[in-house]
């Protein structure tokens, strides 16, 4: 079994970046980025051995989360533009985080 190693420098940097992004988005009242970054930070913090399928799912959620954050940033100052489906991503991340907490 492989796992996402929280002792690895990349994971610490990713958690720090997500935490900073959450704080900044929260202060700027950009709810979608604040919630997605918080969920991704929770996902990355969980250190539990993952089988290949679980690891693939986790990495896919992280990748999709970064894409959604970028999509929000791309349109944040465009009036009347709907933000991408970040709520659906949150709905997918939540059960994974719960699983990893066990």
**Per-residue pLDDT tens over the stretch 18-67:** 999 999 999 988 888 899 999 988 888 876 667 778 778 888 888 888 88
Residue 1 lies in a domain: no
49 is written with which tokens? 């051995």
H-helix segments, the chain = 9-27, 31-45, 52-75, 86-101
The number of domains in the chain is 1
Which backbone phi and psi does 50 adopt, to 5 degrees?
Answer: -120, 140
CA 18 to chain centre: 7
Range of the domain at 28: 9-101
Residue 3 lies in a domain: no
Residue 47 lies in a domain: yes
- The reported pTM is 0.76
């Amino acid at each position: 079994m492989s796992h996402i190693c929280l002792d690895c420098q990349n994971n610490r940097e990713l958690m720090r970046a997500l935490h900073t992004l959450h704080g900044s988005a929260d202060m700027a009242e950009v709810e979608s980025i604040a919630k997605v970054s918080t969920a991704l930070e929770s996902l990355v913090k969980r250190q539990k051995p993952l089988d290949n399928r679980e690891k693939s799912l986790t990495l896919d959620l992280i990748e999709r989360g970064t894409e959604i954050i970028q999509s929000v940033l791309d349109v944040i100052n465009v009036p009347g533009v709907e933000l991408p489906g970040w709520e659906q991503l949150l709905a997918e991340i939540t059960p994974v985080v719960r699983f990893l907490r066990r």
